[in-house]
Structure 1
Amino acid sequence: MSRAPRIRLLLWHASAAIPILGAAAAFYGPALSRTGGVWPAPLDDVYIHFGFARAAALGHPLSWIPGNGYSSGGTSLTYPLALAPGYLLGFRGPWLGLFAALLACAALLDLCRSLRRLLEPRGGPGAAASRWVAWVAPLFVVAVPLLDWSWFSGMEVALLGAVMGRALVAVRRVELAPPARRPAEQLRAGLLAALLVATRPEAVALAAPLAVAAAHAAGSLGAAASLARASLPTALLLGAHAAANRALTGEWGAAGAVRKLILSNPYPTPLEKAVEVIKNLAALRVQALESALGGPSFALLLPLLGVIAALDRRSRRLAVPLLIGAYGSLLLVALNTTARYQNLRYAAPSVAMLLVAAALGAEALARRGRLAAGVAAALSFAALAAPSAGFARQIDHFARASANIAGQHVEVARRLGARAPRPRRVLLGDAGAIPYLSGIPAIDGLGLGGYRGMPFARASVHGVPAVVELIERLDAAERPDVFALYPSWWGGLADVFGRRVDAVKIEDNVMCAADEKVIYEADWAALAPPGERRDGAVDEVDIADLVDERAHRYAFPSPRGGWVIGATLPGGAGGDGAPRFDAGRLIPEGREQSFALGAAAAIARGPAVLALRTDGGGPIALGVAVDRAAGGEVRVEVPERPADRWSEIRVPLRDVAPGDRIRIRSLLGTFRSFHVWLLRP
């Protein structure tokens, strides 16, 4: 390379670094002053990534905490691996955030380099008129304050941007490669598309059309083989991840999908779920793709430039996937119950895709001649300047959110770490900073952290008492001895099994789920010892214990039924036994629950007694039937029961056998079903 091109390249890199570093300083500076010197993290989820990174650095990849086992709850497979070298280099505690910031700046510069390769003129008419677009490409990257908030948050968004840029360049290389090199370039594009999905799951909305675009550029190559090379890496990644989830957690989906997707909630009707998705879409469109881009009028400019790119012969192979990816990923994240919160961070990839498509559109338009280049410059200036009014608000929000995380989560971690004696294990809810900074092992009650394959994520969707049922399965020495929870999130756990000993309250809360996080000492005396079995029982179903329900193929009435409940009441005929916790489900009138008896040798075919645990309430009537047996449904009248103790309903069965399915229907009133035993007569 001669001296002049080298100088030009050096100047371009400087021109790209200046806006990136300037934007980083604009966000980190005020945030550092608010956090008192703790490296700013505006989301506690950042520390979840740090936990996965630390575990990977210590030789436990795909674990949140060493010893907890496999976790599918990380939102990114690749980002913790990118952070792990920082931990090994000595960036420990909150200072791993500094390494994440350096990584973000490097990733954004890499994205700008990819854009430069895509936007540089390839000769022909109009090449000179479009040369300026490559120089302003870095402005497209940092022009939207809402996106900058996510770029510099410490999350995986900046890494996603870098991978996206490289995937786009790979597809362009397929276009330009000679036939002999094209298969290798298609495979390269396919691998980078898979890396996109590994970095952020909803990026599949971009990866899929990019694979089609790479196959479309096959030229003389076979279409089927080309599509296989471009799409098979993503398909294999998704299949392998699903298979690992199934084998290690019992779920095909990742814990984040189980916990957060609207479709995972068993209680609402399909119409109610659709309404929630529409609400999310409306909020994302208005706040992320309208207000954040400068308002209703200016927000149309980026899509307009993207459409121009899609209509251009040279750029459409990249622009069309970017537009599909932007709106497709937005549709996917609208399925997330938290899509409207956390400063719309789930919409950040969509905004990034629109900005890249707009840059391609500006170059395509500028290539049409001087007049068109002027129009492209005017549209680009308006599109990039319009969001600038939001910089002050986003910078301030970043600083305040970082202060919230430092003031609450980081402080709770400090207090727990200083407790004597040192806590054995802390129960928390999707809180990353607490175990990462305190070094205390933890169980995430919401399930994103994973714990030895137990279905905490699914249980947390069903209800808090279902989470307690899983804790009941743990040995006493394994159960958490302290909680760090929001009381409003954990009614029936914190107030029943905990004693409040400390709390951290923050002012000006803009990010935490509540302004006060409470520390409790645990008392699990009301839980049954693990493996406890009732005398004379040949089988039992612990309702709302998801492990037991799965083993018995239990089915509850859904939607609008089967809600999980919990109670702690004395046992014994006179209610004089020790209080015992049990979770159960509400079976509305006219609905039924059912389960299959185990295939254990202890269940001999013949007569048996079905014992049903319930609590107090007015008279009800149940219908009990064994699918295989003749005689139909047996009606059982249940009188009013006292509210201060457990009650038991006994139903004689004439003939049962291993594997029989038993149905219990509520004929009158709502049945509060907690436990079922099959007893010898």
Structure 2
Amino acid sequence: MRRPPRTRLLLWHATAALPVLGAAAAFYGPALARTGGVWPAPLDDVYIHFGFARAAALGHPLSWIPGNGYSSGGTSLTYPLVLAPGYLLGFRGAWLGLFAALLACAALLDLCRSLRRLLEPRGPGAASSRWVAWVAPLFVVAVPLLDWSWFSGMEVALLGAVLGRALVAVRRAELAPPSRRPAEQRRAGLFAALLVATRPEAVALAAPLAVAVAHAAGSLGAAAALARASLPTALLLGAHAAANRAYTGEWGAAGAVRKLILANPYPTPLEKAVEVVKNLAALRVQALESALGGPSFAFLLPLLGLVAALDRRSRRLAVPLLIGAYGSLLLVALNTTARYQNLRYAAPALAMLLVAAALGTEALARRGRLAAGVAAALALAALAAPSAWFGRQIDHFARASANIAGQHVEVARRLGARARQRGAPRRVLLGDAGAIPYLSGIPAIDGLGLGGYRGMPFARASVHGVPAVVELIERLDAAERPDVFALYPSWWGGLADVFGRRVDAVKIEDNVMCAADEKVIYEADWSALAPPGERRGGAIDEVDIADLVDERAHRYVFPSPRGGWVVGAVLRDDGAGGAPRFDAGRLIPEGREQSFAIGAVARGPAVLALRTDGGGPVAIGVAVGRPAGDEARVEVPERPADRWSEIRVPLRDVAPGDLVRIRALQGTFRSFHVWLLRP
């Protein structure tokens, strides 16, 4: 007797839950044993999401920490908003990870449900392809590298659920009658925008999905359909860019500023291209080959996806999925960290490939019994081949979770204990470390800039160099400056060793995930920094080189690429009574120049005072005007190494907006500060 549809549906849900919950248990169980009961998080970035979620729950959306202001550093706009109810429901501290795990399982089951709807047999060949919908959940959990990300606590599982819903929406727009088609097209557009809001590189899928909707528009017209399907994504990207510009001064998000290879001002275009190629090679070999079972089997999933792309019924979904998978890999190859963190940036591409392969399996099985047998054999081989990696990925998940618990969570515990016992620290400086402020409850400044702090360009400064980060800290009031650091010393040379005193450290063994095996806690000493807002007596204008805020205000330009490197030093300052004083500057190679525009000053003669440090003789050329006039050569003799030196250049006439060009004529000029004085 045939089972009633309701019974069959319940049975399908039960069979779908088994592989999803089984995979979850396989990853979480060993990890819990390694962490000693702390809910496992194999990436510290998970806690960054938790911080954004807590801030949203407390009424500060788009902030990492309440009080820090707007942050564009979250990699997902939607995920913290989905986590926020868990915080309000009482999942606090590391236990918000349990809510994230429940959410991940629910999201993956929702993806399975979407796949079932997409794979439902219809029309000729339905009988021979009916089985594909029942094995669809196996496609979701078949690749251990992807499972690692599904259950990591990151936004990948949510992306999977949105991916499934977006594909169903596109299919509905394709099949809807003309009277309902515009509404379904708008619905597809909204889900495409939600994809991009969940992971920015999903724009590589959102765009071809909009084209697919337009291709299926029929009598309603492709142009109008394309507008309905693409406008939500365009509005989202435009609004996000406008908010970034308004609150941070950057059109791009902090993650793009900090992590994109193209944002680094120092390498040449060729050097940047080489890094992109290295990332692509690593992603291809490790994510699209090894993770899929090795060279002998890795072609099977793309092959099944190609079958779907050639099938008339499934091509409007399969072609965008294949374009999105490989397009997203091209985008993440621009990320300096693409090769690290267990290739988590490749997870969306793997998810798209698996869905395309499921569509291809159904398309082939629909061709008849013989084709269904071939489809089953190909699918079985494609899904079984990666299984050899399950043990390794589960072990890596557990070890990585132990690393995060043993280092980041432990540092948070120690800092929290210090705060309770001594009333300090009041603010901690760290580098892209989410667990420390989230679990300790101590406000923080992220020196890498992903957390955002009152619109200051920490992300851009961290790319230019550590001394540029210190310049921004110098802008803060003394009470606002961090009084403790939690940093990797190797990452923060020139800051931790110059402005910090080591008081504690947490060292882990068997490190597979943290940036270094030891994170050090320092007490801060900012006495070498100038008081915020300090202005030199008699100065009518000044440019603090390597202070990105000051540079932007003066339209400062340094020689790039292969020039303008940021350096810093603490030397005796005769103008401050011989006290040690920090300053950052840039290296101007021989034959290259820096330039800036003079601010609002009264027209007249002036003296250009240039701060530099010790070193051998150099010669510089100075030109001023609009455009810059004749270049005057200035010989700079050898300077003592223990103090700041000053070069004075008389100028006959300066006016607001005049361009000042300073060129290194002989040797490398080390430029730290510029003042414009009246004679």
TM bin, normalised by shorter chain, reads over 0.9
> How far, CA to CA, are the matches of 1:125 and 1:456 in structure 2?
60
| Per-residue deviation, residues 210-234 of structure 1 (Å, max 9, x unmatched) | 0110111101002111110000000
Secondary structure of 1:645 counterpart? coil
Deviations along 1:39-75, whole A, 9 cap, x unmatched? 0000000000000000000000000000000000000
- Give the C-alpha shift of residue 87 in structure 1: 0.2
User: Aligned partners of 1:256, 1:238: CA distance in 2, in Å?
Assistant: 15
The verdict on how the C-alpha distance between 1:633 and 1:326 changes in structure 2, with shifts beyond 3 A counting, is same
- Corresponding residue SS for 1:520: strand
Cα distance 1:3–1:311, how it changes in 2: closer, same or farther (>3 A)?
closer
Q: Which moved more, 1:269-278 or 1:631-640?
A: 631-640
Contact 2:628/2:658, CA 8 A, preserved across alignment:
no
Q: Deviations over 1:116-145 (max 9, x none)?
A: 0000111x3211000000000000000000
User: Does the C-alpha gap of structure 1 residues 264 and 630 become closer, same or farther in structure 2, counting only changes over 3 Å?
Assistant: closer
Q: Secondary structure at the match of 2:480?
A: coil
Over 3 Å counting, the alpha-carbon distance change for 1:116 and 1:108 in structure 2 is: same
Aligned partner of residue 25 in structure 1, secondary structure: helix
SS at match of 1:652: strand
SS at match of 1:298: coil
Inter-CA distance 372–631: structure 2 relative to 1 (3 Å threshold): closer
User: Secondary structure of 1:648's partner?
Assistant: strand
Give the number of aligned pairs.
Answer: 671
| 1:451 alignment partner, SS class | coil
Q: State the 1:466 CA deviation.
A: 0.2
1:542 touches 1:676 (CA, 8 Å); kept in 2? yes
* 1:667 Cα deviation from its structure 2 partner: 0.1
Q: Name whichever of 1-10 and 494-503 sits farther off.
A: 1-10
- What TM-score comes out, normalization by structure 1 length? 0.98
Shift of 1:180: 0.4
- Partner-residue secondary structure (3-state), 2:235: helix
2:26·2:394 contact (CA, 8 Å) conserved in 1?
A: yes
| Distance in 2 of aligned mates of 1:188 and 1:287 | 36
Is this contact kept in 2: 1:426–1:482, CA < 8 A?
A: yes
Contact 1:72/1:245 (<8 A) preserved: yes
CA 1:629–1:196 in 2, change beyond 3 Å: closer, same or farther?
A: closer
* Structure 1 stretches of at least 4 aligned residues deviating more than 2 Å after TM superposition: 572-575, 627-631
Distance change (3 Å), C-alpha of 1:629 and 1:230? closer
Contact preservation (8 Å) 2:592, 2:664? yes
Question: Hey, what does 2:642 align to over in structure 1?
Answer: 644
Q: Which residue of 2 aligns with 1:513?
A: 515
Partners of 2:429 and 2:485 within 8 A in 1: yes
* Rounded Cα–Cα distance in structure 2 between residues aligned with 1:199 and 1:214: 21
Shift of 1:106: 0.2
Q: What is aligned with 1:613?
A: 611
Deviations for 1:442-494, whole angstroms, at most 9, x for unmatched residues? 00000000000000000000000000000000000000000000000000000
What is the rounded CA distance, in whole Å, between the counterparts of 1:357 and 1:208 in structure 2? 17
Q: 1:454 maps to what in 2?
A: 456
For the residue of structure 2 that corresponds to 1:662, the secondary structure is strand
Note the C-alpha offset of 1:628.
Answer: 2.6
Q: Distance in 1 between matches of 2:627 and 2:290?
A: 64
1:638–1:649 Cα contact (<8 Å) kept? yes
Is the Cα–Cα contact under 8 Å of residues 78 and 198 in structure 1 kept in the other structure? yes
Over 3 Å counting, the alpha-carbon distance change for 1:152 and 1:665 in structure 2 is: same
Q: 1:606: Cα distance to partner? A: 1.5
Distance 1:107 1:467 in 2: 39
Structure 1 pair 592/107, CA: closer, same or farther in 2 (3 Å)? same
Q: Distance in 1 between matches of 2:519 and 2:220?
A: 60
Q: Distance in 2 between matches of 1:630 and 1:100?
A: 59
Check whether the contact 1:629–1:655 (CA below 8 A) recurs between aligned residues.
no
Partner Cα distance (1:261, 1:222) in 2: 38
* Structure 1 position 2, deviation (Å): 11
Deviations 1:121-180 (A, max 9, x none): 11x321100000000000000000000000000000000000000000000001110000
1:392-414 per-position Cα deviation (integer Å, ceiling 9, x unaligned) = 00000000000000000000000
Give the drift of 1:348: 0.4
> CA 1:592–1:630 in 2, change beyond 3 Å: closer, same or farther?
closer
**Separation of aligned partners in 1, 2:561 and 2:233:** 34
State the partner residue of 2:504: 502
TM-score, L = length of structure 2: 0.98
1:629–1:656 Cα contact (<8 Å) kept: no
Asked if structure 2 preserves the Cα contact closer than 8 Å seen for 1:77 and 1:198, the reply is yes
> Compared with structure 1, are the counterparts of its residues 152 and 129 closer, same or farther at alpha carbon in structure 2 (3 Å cutoff)?
same
Aligned twin of 1:585: 586
Contact 1:121 1:128 in 2 (8 A): yes
User: Counterpart in 2 of 1:624?
Assistant: 622
In structure 1, the partner of 2:422 is none
Question: CA deviation digits over 1:240-275, x for unaligned, max 9?
Answer: 000000000000000000000000000000000000
> Match of 2:479, SS?
coil
Q: Which whole-Å CA distance do the structure 1 matches of 2:95 and 2:213 have between them?
A: 40
**What residue in structure 2 maps to residue 404 of structure 1?**
403
* Shift in CA distance, 109/604, structure 1 to aligned 2, threshold 3 Å: same
Do the aligned residues in 1 keep the contact of 2:626 with 2:657 (CA within 8 Å)? no
Aligned match of 2:469 = 467
Task: Check 1:203–1:631 CA distance in 2 against 1; reply closer, same or farther (3 A cut).
Answer: closer
Distance 1:629 1:674 in 2: 24
Q: Distance in 2 between matches of 1:317 and 1:631?
A: 62
Distance in 2, Cα, partners of 1:70 & 1:102? 29
Task: Output the CA distance in 2 between the equivalents of 1:212 and 1:670.
Answer: 53
Q: Secondary structure at the match of 1:318?
A: helix
Residues 631 and 416 (structure 1 numbering): CA distance in 2 closer, same or farther, change over 3 Å?
Answer: closer
Cα drift, residue 631 of structure 1: 5.5
Deviation at 1:627, TM superposition (A): 3.1
- Residues 316-352 of structure 1 deviation map (CA, whole Å, 9 limit, x = unaligned): 0000000000000000000000000000000000000
Aligned partner of residue 582 in structure 1, secondary structure? strand
Q: Write the deviation string for residues 180-239 of structure 1: whole angstroms up to 9, x where unpaired.
A: 000000000000000000000000000000011011110100211111000000000000
Residue 38 in 1 paired to residue 38 in 2?
Answer: yes
Q: Distance in 2 between matches of 1:450 and 1:125?
A: 56
Deviation by residue 1:350-373 (Cα, 9 ceiling, x = unmatched): 000000000000000000000000
Q: Structure 1: state its 5+ residue gaps.
A: none
CA distance in 2, matches of 1:573, 1:563: 27
Contact 2:449 2:462 in 1 (8 A): yes
Give the aligned CA root-mean-square deviation in angstroms.
Answer: 1.2
C-alpha spacing 1:603/1:25, structure 2 compared with 1 (3 Å): same
What displacement does 1:630 show? 7.9
Q: How many angstroms apart in 1 are the aligned matches of 2:132 and 2:626?
A: 74
- What is the rounded CA distance, in whole Å, between the counterparts of 1:177 and 1:642 in structure 2? 80
Q: Give CA-to-partner distance per residue, 1:481-518, whole Å, 9 cap, x none.
A: 00000000000000000000000000000000000000
- CA distances 1:400-434 after superposition (whole Å, capped 9, x unpaired): 000000000000000000005xx110000000000
Q: Structure 2: where are the runs of 5+ without partners?
A: 420-424
Provide closer, same or farther for how the CA distance between residues 520 and 310 of structure 1 changes in structure 2, counting only shifts above 3 A. Answer: same
Q: Which of 624-633 and 75-84 deviates more?
A: 624-633
Residue identity (%): 93
Contact kept? 1:190, 1:211, Cα under 8 Å: yes
Deviations 1:567-588 (A, max 9, x none): 000xx4995xx00000000000
Q: Which residue matches 1:69?
A: 69
8 Å CA contact retained: 2:627, 2:659: no
Q: Is the 8 A contact 2:628 2:661 kept in 1?
A: no
CA-to-partner distance for each residue in 1:597-642, whole Å, 9 max, x for gaps?
Answer: 11xxx62211100000000000000000013378600000000001
Distance 1:630 1:677, change over 3 A: closer
Distance 2:644 2:94 in 1: 49
Aligned position for 1:165: 164
Whole-Å separation in 1 of the counterparts to 2:3 and 2:559: 75
CA distance, structure 1, for counterparts of residue 645 and residue 628 of structure 2: 29
Alignment partner of 1:213 is 2:215: no
